[in-house]
A and B are shown apart, each in its own frame.
Chain A
Amino acid sequence: DQQVKQNSPSLSVQEGRISILNCDYTNSMFDYFLWYKKYPAEGPTFLISISSIKDKNEDGRFTVFLNKSAKHLSLHIVPSQPGDSAVYFCAASAQNSGGSNYKLTFGKGTLLTVNP
Chain B
Amino acid sequence: DVKVTQSSRYLVKRTGEKVFLECVQDMDHENMFWYRQDPGLGLRLIYFSYDVKMKEKGDIPEGYSVSREKKERFSLILESASTNQTSMYLCASSLQGVTYEQYFGPGTRLTVT
Q: Do A and B come from one complex?
A: no
Residues of A whose CB lies within 8 Å of any CB of B are none
Chain B residues at the A interface, C-beta cutoff of 8 Å: none
